[in-house]
Amino acid sequence: MSHPLLRLPHVAPYTCRSCLLRRSQASRRRIATPPPWAKQQHTPKAALPTSPARTRFAPSPTGYLHLGSLRTALFNYLLAKRTGGQFLLRIEDTDQKRTVPDAEERLFRDLRWAGLQWDEGPEVGGPYGPYKQSQRSALYREHAQRLLDTGDAYRCFCSTDRLNQLAEHRHKLGVATDYDRTCAGIDKGESDDRAARGEAHTVRLKVPDVYPAYHDLIYGPFKPLKRRSHLTESSFEDPILLKSDGLPTYHLANVVDDHLMQITHVIRGSEWMPSTPKHIALYSAFGWTPPHFAHVGLLVDEQGNKLSKRNFDTDIAAFQEMDIFPETLTNFAALLGWSHSEKSDVLDLRRLVDTFSLKFTKGNTTVTFGKLHFLQRKHAALRAVAGGDPLQHIVRAVSALLTAPDTPYPDWQTLLPTSRDSNSDPDAYITSIVRADAENYTNANEFVYRNSFLFTALRNPASVTDAPDVPARVKSLADVGESEWDKERLMAKVHEVIDARAEGRKGAKDVYQYLRRAVTGKEDGMRIYDVLVLLGRDECLRRLGVEV
């Protein structure tokens, strides 16, 4: 295990985080312009449903879980749990060519790491399975046939070459490159016969002249769109439902699955808003009641670009490698496009469930990472108070760095105050340090660097001071015995030194600055009385130049 940052303790630590902080400058969010299709008038905030909500997260295993998809899963999870409902996981794996071999396994692991355990889905089961689209093909063909029988869909026998030529022709004319319904007029008997003979075809939805209206929980009433037409070129937004290989497109599969799985609410990214009228038309063609839709804005960088791997929309494993706690990441993700009325932004998953509402912001949300590290420090402090395994996770991470073969602190255990039974154990010593400075913990690398004076002996500390009497005066800390070496007595002794100098506030500053420099070799850091207690009497006096 290699830790290059530890080999260079005097250079700026953890440059990855520093880069993030330079980009953020502050923990702020900027809301971008709402999508052009969204109504701009005030929309009343939607109330929570009065009955249990059934929500779902339906990722495709063509990649790993990233920040944007985690946020989508989280919002659906919170709504289900807030209302006493169920959160479903469904795998949309019909695009076999782009499937990443280990993406599904990683997805399960990352969701569970974040605490988002699904109530129904793969590895769990449920009454509406299977929960993988590749295992539901017969259902989609059956429902496509229902639409063919009612005339709400038709078979399209056009070749790929013909469709490409049509699209190119229409593009040159400057009109929409939708389909021209060449195959919509084929007699049903002829269509059935050609399909029975194995002629390649797709199945298209025959969209209505005017889409049915629907109400978005964030943007309010969605104005129906008229079917596009031109004087010389007809244009029809007839989406493909079944591909020529018999597999469904997203449009058909998600509508059929959401209905059969009794999904009541769908929270998804605003990039799906233009497709939602088609989905509403599909529900109408089947005679089904659609679920409630809430479209949340996209996550963008400070230039307004959609997050990508180049600008920190990395998969969840990257946050895990940064030692970000799961409660930190879910807290951070929840605040991206959602608001609450709590006094503090520091909310663990249980608190998020208790406070969740449908108070989403319109438009896109700019992601900056200063907030992430602020929340990490706050949750570290909570772990220190709570104790148990969450605290021990931090202790183990710090211990792993200190005991690595290439650690720059090979003799750190010689600093253990062995005269104190409670601190003689290495893990107990690390635990004491973490408890004292947890409010500044972001990850083990930075924590060890920040507190390196607790892991290495300082025999020639930086003890320069403009007050020449201070070094001699602070040596009186030797009057405090081993059994009395605690915060209260040390504080009283330091105050004696300050009062003896009779220089008021400046005198106190001189004493504290010298103490910190002499004992830690740093200008700032952990509270000085915590440092004195952690290092113990003998080590502190040695650093102050007192023979022990």
CB distance 437 to 397 below 8 Å: no
CB distance 484 to 44 below 8 Å: no
pLDDT value at 7 more than 50: no
Catalytic residue among 309, 487, 506, 509: 309
Angstrom distance (rounded) from CA 465 to CA 454: 22
pLDDT at 396: 97
pLDDT value at 501 more than 90: no
Domains with residue ranges and CATH for the chain: 4-15+369-454 (no CATH), 29-132+298-366 (3.40.50.620), 136-296 (3.40.50.620), 470-543 (no CATH)
pTM of the model: 0.87
* Confidence class for position 102, pLDDT limits 50, 70, 90: very high
CB distance 528 to 483 below 8 Å: no
Query: How confident is the model over 504-514, as a mean pLDDT?
Result: 86
pLDDT value at 424 more than 50: yes
pLDDT at 319: 94
pLDDT value at 287 more than 80: yes
* Confidence class for position 315, pLDDT limits 50, 70, 90: confident
pLDDT tens, 114-169? Answer: 999 999 999 999 999 999 999 999 999 999 999 999 999 999 999 999 999 998 98
Residue 188 falls in the annotated catalytic set: no
User: Residues of 331-351 as b/e, b for ≥16 C-beta within 10 angstroms?
Assistant: bbbbbbbbebeeeeebbbbeb
DSSP per residue, 398-459: HHHHHTSTT-S-TTGGGGS-TTSGGGSSHHHHHHHHHHHHGGG-S-HHHHHHHTGGGTS--S
Residue type present at position 199: E
Find tokens 């939602």 and name the residue. Answer: 276
Share of the chain above pLDDT 90, in %: 72
Task: Measure CA 152 to chain center.
Answer: 41
Share of the chain above pLDDT 70, in %: 86
Mean pLDDT of the chain: 87
CB distance 324 to 113 below 8 Å: no
Output the CA–CA distances (angstroms, integers) from residue 296 to 119, 220, 293, 478, in the order listed.
Answer: 23, 13, 10, 63
Number of Cβ within a 10 Å radius of residue 249: 18
Angstrom distance (rounded) from CA 276 to CA 222: 10
Find tokens 């080999």 and name the residue. Answer: 7
Q: Among 309, 300, 311, which Cα is nearest to 271's? A: 300
Angstrom distance (rounded) from CA 130 to CA 238: 29
CB distance 429 to 403 below 8 Å: no
Token pair recorded at residue 192: 């059935």
The mean-pLDDT minimum among 282-291, 321-330, 455-464 falls in 455-464
CB distance 493 to 452 below 8 Å: no
pLDDT at 33: 40
Give every CB contact of residue 102 below 8 A, 6+ residues apart in sequence. Answer: none
Q: Which residues on adjacent β-strands are paired with residue 516?
A: none
Say if residue 207 is exposed, middle or buried (CB neighbours under 10 Å; 0-12, 13-18, 19+). buried
